[in-house]
């Protein structure tokens, strides 16, 4: 269980790094599709703050993807080595992904979006749009993602038992 929690923590770091790279460095509007609609309407394209900003952002994004995908691979390898059955694989994957979703909701939505200046630091025009009152604007999206995560966990556990 400790190994699973450590893998989950690595994924959380990866998710934060992905957000930071997209918002702070790459700054491509395609990455903001899950932002509140009011914010999407007022966000303006930004000039580069320094040379190499986008390159740094893409390097951060690659590292983020490694931190998001790597723990799934390591968790699979470890489970195969330890002879996990379907239920243990499912429990590992579901725990990792549901903790990642909880991190998304609690840290990204509650802390960064509703109670900090994170987004307004990079996009000052959204400062008045983000606050505690918008928490939960994306409940339906979160619920759909949770169902997808559970289905992925079921299928991944089944595939792992075939190895």
Structural contact between residues 27 and 20, judged by C-beta atoms closer than 8 angstroms? no
CA angle 74/76/82 to nearest 5° reads 100
Say what the pTM is: 0.87
What is the per-residue pLDDT across 8-50, written as a single tens digit (0 to 9) for each?
Answer: 999 999 999 999 998 889 887 777 777 777 777 777 777 777 8
Residue ranges covered by each domain of the chain: 2-162
Give me the pLDDT at residue 29, please. 72
Q: How far is CA 117 from CA 4, 58, 103, 130, 144, in A?
A: 32, 23, 18, 9, 28
Identify the pLDDT of residue 160.
93
How do residues 76-134 score in pLDDT, each as one tens digit? 999 999 999 999 999 999 999 999 999 999 998 888 877 888 887 877 777 777 777 77
Instruction: Say if residue 71's pLDDT is above 90.
Output: yes
Query: Tell me, what's the pLDDT at 4?
Result: 96
* More confident of the two residues 9 and 141: 9
**CB 152 within 8 Å of CB 92:** no
Any idea which of 10-24, 47-61, 149-163 has the lowest mean pLDDT? 47-61
Residues 57, 25 contacting (CB under 8 angstroms): yes
């Amino acid at each position: 269980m400790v190994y699973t929690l450590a893998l989950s923590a690595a994924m959380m770091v990866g998710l934060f790094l992905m957000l930071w790279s997209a918002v702070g460095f790459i700054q491509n509007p395609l990455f903001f599709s899950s932002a509140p609609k009011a914010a999407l309407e007022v966000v303006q394209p930004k000039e580069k703050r320094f040379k190499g900003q986008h390159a740094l952002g893409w390097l951060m994004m690659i590292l983020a993807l490694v931190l998001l995908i790597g723990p799934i691979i390591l968790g699979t390898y470890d489970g195969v080595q330890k002879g996990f059955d379907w239920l243990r694989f499912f429990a590992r994957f579901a725990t990792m992904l549901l903790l990642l979703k909880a991190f998304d909701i609690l840290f990204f939505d509650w802390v960064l979006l509703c109670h900090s200046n994170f987004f307004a630091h990079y996009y000052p025009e959204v400062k008045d749009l983000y606050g505690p009152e918008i928490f939960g604007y994306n409940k339906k999206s979160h619920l759909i993602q949770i169902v997808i995560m559970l289905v992925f966990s079921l299928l991944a556990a089944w595939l792992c038992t075939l190895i």
